[in-house]
Copies of this chain bind each other. A is one copy, B any other.
Protein backbone atom coordinates (compact mmCIF):
# COMPACT_ATOMS: atom_id res chain seq x y z
CA UNK A 1 0.00 0.00 0.00
CA UNK A 2 1.17 3.50 -0.76
CA UNK A 3 0.79 6.68 1.29
CA UNK A 4 -2.08 7.19 3.75
CA UNK A 5 -5.46 8.07 2.36
CA UNK A 6 -4.36 8.94 -1.15
CA UNK A 7 -5.93 5.84 -2.64
CA UNK A 8 -9.14 6.38 -0.75
CA UNK A 9 -9.38 9.92 -1.98
CA UNK A 10 -8.66 8.84 -5.51
CA UNK A 11 -11.43 6.28 -5.51
CA UNK A 12 -13.79 8.69 -3.80
CA UNK A 13 -13.14 11.38 -6.39
CA UNK A 14 -13.46 8.91 -9.23
CA UNK A 15 -16.68 7.49 -7.83
CA UNK A 16 -18.22 10.89 -7.27
CA UNK A 17 -17.37 12.00 -10.78
CA UNK A 18 -18.77 8.87 -12.36
CA UNK A 19 -21.96 9.06 -10.36
CA UNK A 20 -22.51 12.68 -11.24
CA UNK A 21 -21.83 11.89 -14.86
CA UNK A 22 -24.43 9.13 -14.64
CA UNK A 23 -27.02 11.69 -13.62
CA UNK A 24 -27.12 10.65 -9.97
CA UNK A 25 -27.45 13.27 -7.25
CA UNK A 26 -25.44 13.58 -4.08
CA UNK A 27 -27.85 13.02 -1.23
CA UNK A 28 -26.76 12.76 2.38
CA UNK A 29 -27.19 9.02 2.72
CA UNK A 30 -25.49 8.18 -0.55
CA UNK A 31 -22.60 10.47 0.28
CA UNK A 32 -22.20 8.79 3.65
CA UNK A 33 -22.22 5.34 2.08
CA UNK A 34 -19.69 6.23 -0.59
CA UNK A 35 -17.41 7.83 2.00
CA UNK A 36 -17.70 4.79 4.21
CA UNK A 37 -16.72 2.58 1.30
CA UNK A 38 -13.79 4.83 0.42
CA UNK A 39 -12.64 4.64 4.03
CA UNK A 40 -13.26 1.02 4.94
CA UNK A 41 -14.41 -0.77 1.82
CA UNK A 42 -11.08 -2.24 0.79
CA UNK A 43 -12.24 -5.78 1.49
CA UNK A 44 -15.66 -7.40 1.73
CA UNK A 45 -18.25 -5.51 3.72
CA UNK A 46 -21.85 -6.64 4.01
CA UNK A 47 -24.71 -4.23 3.45
CA UNK A 48 -25.47 -4.28 7.16
CA UNK A 49 -21.85 -3.44 7.98
CA UNK A 50 -21.83 -0.58 5.51
CA UNK A 51 -25.01 0.77 7.07
CA UNK A 52 -23.57 0.50 10.57
CA UNK A 53 -20.30 2.17 9.60
CA UNK A 54 -22.24 5.01 7.98
CA UNK A 55 -24.03 5.76 11.21
CA UNK A 56 -21.62 8.40 12.37
CA UNK A 57 -23.85 11.39 12.20
CA UNK A 58 -26.78 10.57 9.97
CA UNK A 59 -27.73 7.01 9.30
CA UNK A 60 -28.26 5.40 5.94
CA UNK A 61 -31.15 3.00 5.85
CA UNK A 62 -30.42 -0.53 4.76
CA UNK A 63 -32.66 0.02 1.73
CA UNK A 64 -30.55 2.95 0.62
CA UNK A 65 -27.35 0.99 1.15
CA UNK A 66 -28.62 -1.72 -1.17
CA UNK A 67 -29.65 0.87 -3.74
CA UNK A 68 -26.27 2.58 -3.62
CA UNK A 69 -24.18 -0.58 -3.87
CA UNK A 70 -26.32 -1.65 -6.80
CA UNK A 71 -25.63 1.63 -8.57
CA UNK A 72 -21.93 1.53 -7.78
CA UNK A 73 -21.69 -2.05 -9.01
CA UNK A 74 -23.36 -1.18 -12.29
CA UNK A 75 -20.89 1.64 -12.77
CA UNK A 76 -18.03 -0.75 -12.16
CA UNK A 77 -16.98 1.07 -9.00
CA UNK A 78 -17.70 -1.79 -6.64
CA UNK A 79 -17.15 -5.54 -6.68
CA UNK A 80 -19.78 -7.88 -5.34
CA UNK A 81 -19.10 -11.34 -3.96
CA UNK A 82 -21.79 -13.74 -2.80
CA UNK A 83 -20.76 -15.83 0.18
CA UNK A 84 -21.87 -19.28 1.23
CA UNK A 85 -23.85 -17.80 4.10
CA UNK A 86 -26.23 -16.23 1.60
CA UNK A 87 -24.93 -12.76 2.33
CA UNK A 88 -23.54 -10.49 -0.36
CA UNK A 89 -20.32 -8.63 0.33
CA UNK A 90 -18.92 -5.59 -1.40
CA UNK A 91 -15.57 -3.96 -1.88
CA UNK A 92 -14.09 -1.07 -3.79
CA UNK A 93 -13.08 -1.73 -7.38
CA UNK A 94 -9.58 -0.28 -7.27
CA UNK A 95 -7.33 -1.38 -10.14
CA UNK A 96 -4.30 -0.41 -8.08
CA UNK A 97 -5.17 -2.87 -5.34
CA UNK A 98 -6.73 -5.70 -7.27
CA UNK A 99 -6.87 -8.83 -5.14
CA UNK A 100 -8.62 -12.12 -4.47
CA UNK A 101 -9.62 -13.99 -1.34
CA UNK A 102 -8.39 -16.98 0.62
CA UNK A 103 -10.82 -18.27 3.22
CA UNK A 104 -9.95 -20.28 6.31
CA UNK A 105 -12.49 -23.08 6.37
CA UNK A 106 -12.38 -23.43 10.13
CA UNK A 107 -12.70 -19.81 11.18
CA UNK A 108 -14.16 -18.19 8.09
CA UNK A 109 -11.40 -15.60 8.25
CA UNK A 110 -10.63 -14.03 4.89
CA UNK A 111 -7.16 -13.18 3.71
CA UNK A 112 -6.83 -11.05 0.61
CA UNK A 113 -3.95 -11.78 -1.73
CA UNK A 114 -2.57 -10.73 -5.06
CA UNK A 115 -0.62 -12.76 -7.56
CA UNK A 116 0.66 -11.69 -10.93
CA UNK A 117 1.05 -15.20 -12.32
CA UNK A 118 -2.54 -15.93 -11.46
CA UNK A 119 -3.69 -12.78 -13.23
CA UNK A 120 -1.64 -13.71 -16.26
CA UNK A 121 -3.16 -17.20 -16.32
CA UNK A 122 -6.65 -15.73 -16.13
CA UNK A 123 -5.96 -13.31 -18.96
CA UNK A 124 -4.59 -16.17 -21.04
CA UNK A 125 -7.65 -18.31 -20.45
CA UNK A 126 -9.99 -15.51 -21.42
CA UNK A 127 -8.01 -14.98 -24.61
CA UNK A 128 -8.18 -18.67 -25.40
CA UNK A 129 -11.95 -18.70 -24.86
CA UNK A 130 -12.45 -15.61 -26.99
CA UNK A 131 -13.93 -13.88 -23.97
CA UNK A 132 -13.71 -10.14 -23.48
CA UNK A 133 -13.17 -10.00 -19.75
CA UNK A 134 -15.10 -7.51 -17.64
CA UNK A 135 -14.51 -9.12 -14.27
CA UNK A 136 -13.30 -12.22 -12.49
CA UNK A 137 -13.32 -13.71 -9.02
CA UNK A 138 -11.07 -16.27 -7.41
CA UNK A 139 -11.83 -17.77 -4.03
CA UNK A 140 -9.42 -20.18 -2.37
CA UNK A 141 -10.63 -22.32 0.52
CA UNK A 142 -8.51 -24.30 2.92
CA UNK A 143 -6.70 -24.31 6.20
CA UNK A 144 -3.48 -22.86 7.50
CA UNK A 145 -1.48 -25.54 9.31
CA UNK A 146 -0.34 -23.04 11.94
CA UNK A 147 -3.59 -21.14 12.03
CA UNK A 148 -4.35 -18.15 9.83
CA UNK A 149 -1.57 -15.59 9.71
CA UNK A 150 -2.38 -12.03 10.69
CA UNK A 151 -3.99 -10.12 7.84
Contacts and interface: CB of A to CB of B under 8 A. Distances in A.
B84 A83 contact: no
Given A82-B82, A138-B138, A139-B137, A146 B130 contact: yes
Range of interface residues on chain A? 35 or more
Q: Select the residue from A111, A115, A121, A126 with max chain B CB neighbours within 10 A.
A: A121
Interface in A90-130: 102, 105, 111, 113, 115, 117-118, 120-122, 124-126, 128-130
Contacts of A86: 82, 86, 88
A146 B132 CA distance: 10
A58 interface: no
A131 B106 CA distance: 12
A144 B133 CA distance: 9
B131 A140 contact: yes
Q: Select the residue from A84, A117, A132, A146 with max chain B CB neighbours within 10 A.
A: A117
A102 B127 CA distance: 12
Contacts of A140: 122, 125-126, 129, 131, 133, 135-136
